[in-house]
Amino acid sequence: DQQVKQNSPSLSVQEGRISILNCDYTNSMFDYFLWYKKYPAEGPTFLISISSIKDKNEDGRFTVFLNKSAKHLSLHIVPSQPGDSAVYFCAASARVTGNQFYFGTGTSLTVIP
């Protein structure tokens, strides 16, 4: 049973516009969330994280929002660039029960020049 879900397999956005990638989770014990970016034939690379004590975290063009009541997080990329085209995974863990990260199925983002 998938505890972390990314319901949009793909997303296309024009260069310079905002990209919004969504992620839902079911386990209320999750308290730490990450986004990873993956290019073909490479391993995922860490992008940004957020703890459940926050509802927003920013790092340059990337912002992650967390809505605990809705068990939903989103990644905003502004402005989107062609180099952002990749597969994005969200991941969640419940740190009190160990260090297992559960990943979503990924969203493939294409930024059109």
Interface with another protein (CB under 8 A), residue from 53, 60, 70, 98: 98
Which region holds residue 60: left if phi is over 0, alpha if psi is between -120 and 50, else beta? left
- Least distance in angstroms from the C-beta of 60 to another protein: 17
Q: Is residue 34 at the binding interface for another protein, with CB under 8 A as the rule?
A: yes
Select 29 or 78, whichever has its Cβ closest to another protein: 29
# residues contacting another protein (CB under 8 A): 26
Strand, coil or helix: what is 94? coil
Degrees to nearest 5, angle at CA 31 with 75 and 34: 35
Site for another protein in 4-23 (CB under 8 A): 4, 6
Any contact of residue 75 with another protein (CB under 8 A)?
no
* Contact call for residue 49 and another protein (CB under 8 A): yes
Does residue 50 interact with another protein by CB under 8 A?
A: no
